Amino acid sequence: MGQSLLAGTAVSLTQEKWTQVSFKGIEANKVSFENGTMTVAVSSSASPLVYKLDAPLAIQSFEVSGAQVGSKILESSKFDEDSVLRFGIVGLGSQKLNALKRAFAADWVIKLFSLAPADAGLDKINFFNVTNRLNLKGQERAHPKSDLMIEKIVSVQDQEGKLMVKYQLEKPIQAAALWLSIDGDDTKSKFTLKIDRIDLN
């Protein structure tokens, strides 16, 4: 169903390729695109950005680069509830949203399942997170609020604001889309993240 990428594939950072998803009762981030970059301004806010792949791809690794201004407030819980970046890969699978489930599903869940090809279902969103707590690197969890999300903390923030995440997956994921979460609603944080490159391999 997917194909292996033999060379790096650059993800377009233009407004027409990305969809912003809102959560009920949570202020949305302010997002802008300019000269091939994406800028996300967070102010006690959260609203994922979704990029539907033109065709399913087998993603083996990814790289994200950019810069951050301001900082996310340091958390004290066992796992970060906010993140400067959760890089999500929406995997293909067997789950589908039937009419009954759709009637009761949150808007973001309906959007998620709309990313599946017509003849396929989805598995879950596999998130690879950036933290500002060194001791959390390598930690994993199934998200407590949804069985559609799994998180792993793979990178620690650069203290000078530079963002550079390079990650090799343990095994390729057959992907339908990317799902970026950049949020500060739980911690009431205020910061800006500018992304200038996303490469898939």
Residue 2 has a pLDDT of 38
- pTM beyond cutoff 0.85: yes
- Using alpha carbons, select from 161, 166, 165 the residue that is nearest to residue 194: 161
What's the pLDDT at 3? 38
- CA contacts within 13 A on the Cβ side of 39: 8
Of 10, 11, 101, 95, the residue nearest 50 (C-alpha): 11
The answer to whether the CB of 105 falls within 8 A of the CB of 199 is no
The pLDDT score that the predictor gives to residue 5 is 39
User: Residue 191 corresponds to which tokens in the numbers above?
Assistant: 């910061």
Per-residue confidence (pLDDT) for residue 118, from 0 to 100: 78
Say how many CA atoms lie within 13 Å of 89 toward its Cβ.
27
pLDDT of residue 7: 52
Q: Which residues pair with 128 in a beta bridge?
A: 87, 152
Which residues of the chain fall below pLDDT 50? 1-6
- pLDDT tens digits along 130-175: 999 999 999 999 998 888 899 999 999 988 899 999 999 999 999 9
**pLDDT for the residue 15:** 95
Report the distance separating Cα 57 and Cα 44, nearest Å. Answer: 34
The domains of the chain are located at 9-169+186-200
pLDDT of 28 reads 97
